[in-house]
């Protein structure tokens, strides 16, 4: 089963690239908000990258996620991928994602095979995030306690099922803004992280 799942994943991401022009994730925003995401606005967003680490376990593939430290200024305690803002020294989106993953959870960049990219994801914090999908063997993690409180894995098979995603809504400035939410064990995965995983599910289901 892991071999078949890996093949589906590779097929879904074949041909994706971090080179511009990059596709933008369909956020399913209300029309009034969707109109605001013009090409000019997208250009003002700061570039960032996250790594979507897919781990080869003996009987299944899993996705590594982190729980952000309570010490951080923003999004404290939330579930996320390893990643962050792209620096001038980063050669590519993949380089930035791998650098951040090494800093946050101790992943060896040489152990990760980058197999493709999801659509760019604009965030309310004014970042344009490029999700980089990589395959790797079971890692030896070393968490940076200042940034990461915990790390855990979710079966990829669960994340590729459409019924794993609940559509929720929050209100901001008089607008009802939709988002996705996933529950696994006692974890709540929502917001941008769930949105990127939903994009992954769409790509694999459509492959």
CB of 130 within 8 A of CB of 52? no
Section 62-70 average pLDDT? 91
pLDDT at residue 34, as a whole number: 58
| CB half-sphere exposure, 134, CA atoms < 13 A | 32
Mean pLDDT of 125-143: 95
* Higher pLDDT pick, 53 / 147: 53
Summarize the confidence of residues 106-128 as an average pLDDT. Answer: 94
- In percent, the amount of the chain with pLDDT more than 90 equals 72
Q: Find how far residue 198's CA is from the centre of its chain.
A: 9
Specify which of 74-83, 172-181, 193-202 reaches the highest per-range mean pLDDT: 193-202
pLDDT reading at 146 higher than 50? yes
pLDDT above 90 (res 114): yes
* Residue 26 predicted with pLDDT over 80: no
What are the backbone angles phi and psi of residue 86, rounded to the nearest 5°? -80, 130
- Structure pTM? 0.92
Give 174's contacts (C-beta < 8 A, 6+ positions apart): none
Residue 86 has pLDDT above 90, yes or no: yes
Cβ atoms of residues 53 and 149 within 8 Å: no
Band the pLDDT of 75: cuts 50, 70, 90: low
As a whole number of angstroms, the distance between CA 27 and CA 18 comes to 19
> Residue 67: pLDDT above 60?
yes
């Amino acid at each position: 089963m892991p071999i078949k799942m890996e093949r589906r994943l590779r097929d879904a991401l074949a041909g994706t690239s971090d080179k511009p022009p990059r596709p933008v994730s369909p956020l399913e925003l209300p029309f009034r908000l969707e109109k605001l995401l013009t090409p000019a606005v997208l250009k003002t967003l700061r570039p960032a990258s996250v790594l979507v680490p897919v781990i080869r376990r003996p009987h299944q593939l899993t996705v590594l996620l982190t729980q952000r430290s309570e010490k951080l200024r923003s999004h404290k305690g939330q579930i996320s991928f390893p990643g962050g803002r792209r620096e001038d020294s980063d050669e590519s989106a993949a380089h930035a994602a791998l650098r951040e993953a090494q800093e946050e959870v101790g992943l060896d960049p040489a152990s990760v095979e980058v197999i493709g990219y999801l659509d760019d994801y604009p965030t309310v914090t004014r970042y344009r995030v490029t999700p980089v999908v990589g395959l790797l063997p079971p890692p030896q993690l070393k968490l940076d306690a200042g940034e990461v409180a915990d790390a855990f894995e979710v079966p990829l098979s669960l994340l590729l099922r459409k019924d794993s995603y609940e559509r929720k809504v929050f209100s901001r400035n008089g607008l009802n803004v939709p988002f996705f939410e996933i529950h696994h064990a006692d974890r709540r995965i929502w917001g941008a992280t769930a949105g990127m995983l939903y994009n992954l599910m769409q790509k694999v289901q459509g492959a």
